[in-house]
């Protein structure tokens, strides 16, 4: 069965659901690790009041028995604690109460076009699903993909490179996975302590000015064998899948692979990663401009992907909009909100990269059980003499 996942759920509804299909049987899952990823997504200086209400935890409803996958679809449930405060407004069934509608679409949010497209007078019918709360379900699904990848020797890490106009120094292309240890303890998940302090100060400064902040994060994956993805068809090119997956995260406006935008301005001689071979190492490279992908396939180098996050579109000092009932000028909806979600978006980026890589590994190596998967990978590594 093909590896795939879907999510369901509204931000202030009863809860979120993720269903993951196509995991092999016999994968050992660590319950604590699932909740650890959920907690990492809630971190970051600049989040709002909602994160004090939620303590996200994953409940496994199917597909796992005594800590191991069964090969059947895995259903995951993440409760919305805030639903207790929204039971009337978000009840799946009619309620005996006057419910206020949202008629003030926020520029940058899905509100207006969603109301037009789906024929709603109440913007809440759109914004509840468009909300980045949905990413909790993606991270839940991503934890399963991460467990699978970890069993095949792949590790996925992330960090924040830029917060509004504050940029950290460019990290080296050859960072080891261990360089990311402790990044979750940093208030903005930045690897550079000086830049981190400047980012925190910038969040505080702009928050006081009623502004929201965007930024840039990077996800790196280590331990990939060469040949994941394929040059054969556009749908199988891994760069395309990764870009699509990252761009599908709420608030993302740009994706890059390797030194993308910089490479575009260089001569070819400075853009590519020359190929070497030694009896000890086999094939190897001394640079990684390509970010670990050539011809839509992993080349055995670390994978480097970045996402550009726009500032959150719910503003404490709302932008100009129009009342959809009266068509008169009005200020956009004002709601409790975060100042920035860039540190959280990096964790969601990890989840999406894990899900894309797990799918591509499942396609390449098949297998109904983990033993089958591991045997297929071993065979392949021997064939291409990969160490």
Backbone angles phi, psi at 74, to 5 degrees: -105, 120
Interaction mask 311-330, ligand EPS, x per CB under 6 A:
---x----------------
Binding segment for ligand EPS (CB under 6 A), chosen from 138-146, 209-217, 233-241, 332-340, is 332-340
Query: Which residue shows structure tokens 């970051």?
Result: 44
Q: How far is the CB of 143 from ligand EPS (least distance, A)?
A: 15
Residue from the set 17, 20, 40, 50 that interacts with ligand EPS by CB under 6 A: 50
Q: Which listed range, 46-54, 96-104, 206-214, 236-244, lies at the site for ligand EPS (CB under 6 A)?
A: 46-54
**Cβ nearer to ligand EPS, comparing 324 with 337:** 337
User: Would you say 90 or 373 has its CB closer to ligand EPS?
Assistant: 90
Of 335, 374, 376, 386, the one binding ligand EPS (CB under 6 A) is 335
CA–CA distance, 114 with 118 (Å, rounded to integer): 6
Site for ligand EPS in 101-160 (CB under 6 A): 131-133, 135-136
Site size for ligand EPS, by CB under 6 A? Answer: 15
**Residue 260: burial class (beta carbons within 10 Å; 0-12, 13-18, 19+):** middle
Separation in Å, CA 383 to CA 46, 78, 171, 342, 379 = 49, 43, 34, 41, 6
Buried b (16+ CB within 10 A) or exposed e, 333-371: beeebbbbbbbbbbbbbbbbbbbbbbbbbbebbebeebe
Of positions 337, 342, 349, 356, contacts ligand EPS by CB under 6 A: 337
Pick the closer one to ligand EPS by CB: 345 or 353: 345
Which residues share a beta bridge with 369? 25
The number of beta carbons lying within 10 Å of the beta carbon of residue 270 is: 12
φ/ψ (deg, to 5) at 345: -60, -35
Query: Binding to ligand EPS by residue 338, rule CB under 6 A?
Result: yes
Binding site for ligand EPS (CB under 6 A): 11, 48, 50, 54, 82, 131-133, 135-136, 314, 335-338
């Amino acid at each position: 069965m093909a590896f795939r996942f879907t999510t369901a759920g509204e931000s202030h509804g009863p809860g979120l659901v993720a269903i993951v299909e196509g995991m092999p049987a016999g994968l050992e899952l660590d319950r604590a690790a699932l909740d650890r990823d959920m907690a990492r997504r809630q971190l970051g200086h600049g989040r709002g009041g909602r994160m004090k209400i939620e303590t996200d935890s994953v409940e496994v409803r199917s597909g796992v028995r005594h800590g191991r996958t069964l090969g059947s679809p895995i259903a995951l449930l993440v409760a919305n604690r805030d639903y207790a405060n929204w039971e009337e407004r978000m009840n799946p069934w009619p309620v005996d109460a006057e419910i206020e509608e949202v008629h003030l679409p926020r520029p940058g949010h899905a509100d207006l076009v969603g109301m037009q497209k789906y024929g709603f007078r109440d913007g809440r019918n759109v914004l509840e699903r468009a909300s980045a709360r949905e990413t909790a379900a993606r991270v839940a699904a991503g934890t399963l993909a991460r467990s699978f990848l970890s069993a095949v020797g792949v590790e996925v890490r992330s960090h924040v490179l830029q917060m509004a106009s504050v940029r950290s120094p460019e990290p080296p292309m050859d960072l080891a996975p261990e360089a990311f240890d402790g990044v979750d303890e940093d208030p903005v998940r930045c690897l550079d302590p000086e830049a981190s302090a400047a980012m925190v100060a910038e969040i505080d400064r702009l928050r006081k000015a009623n502004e929201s902040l965007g930024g840039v994060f990077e996800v790196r994956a280590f331990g990939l064998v060469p040949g994941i993805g394929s040059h054969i068809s556009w749908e199988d090119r891994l760069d395309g899948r990764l870009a699509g997956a990252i761009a599908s995260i709420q608030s993302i406006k740009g994706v890059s692979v390797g030194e993308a935008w910089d490479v575009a301005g260089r001569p070819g001689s400075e853009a590519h990663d020359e190929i070497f071979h030694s009896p000890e190492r086999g094939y190897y490279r001394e640079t990684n401009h390509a970010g670990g992908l050539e011809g839509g396939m992993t080349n055995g180098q670390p994978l480097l992907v970045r996402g550009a996050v726009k500032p959150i579109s719910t503003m404490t000092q709302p932008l100009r909009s129009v009342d959809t009932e009266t068509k008169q000028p009005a200020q956009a909806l004002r709601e409790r909100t975060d100042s920035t979600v860039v540190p959280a978006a990096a964790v969601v980026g990890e989840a999406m990269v894990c899900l894309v890589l797990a799918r591509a590994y499942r396609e390449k190596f098949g297998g109904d059980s983990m033993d089958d998967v591991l045997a297929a990978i071993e065979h392949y590594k021997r064939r291409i003499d990969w160490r």
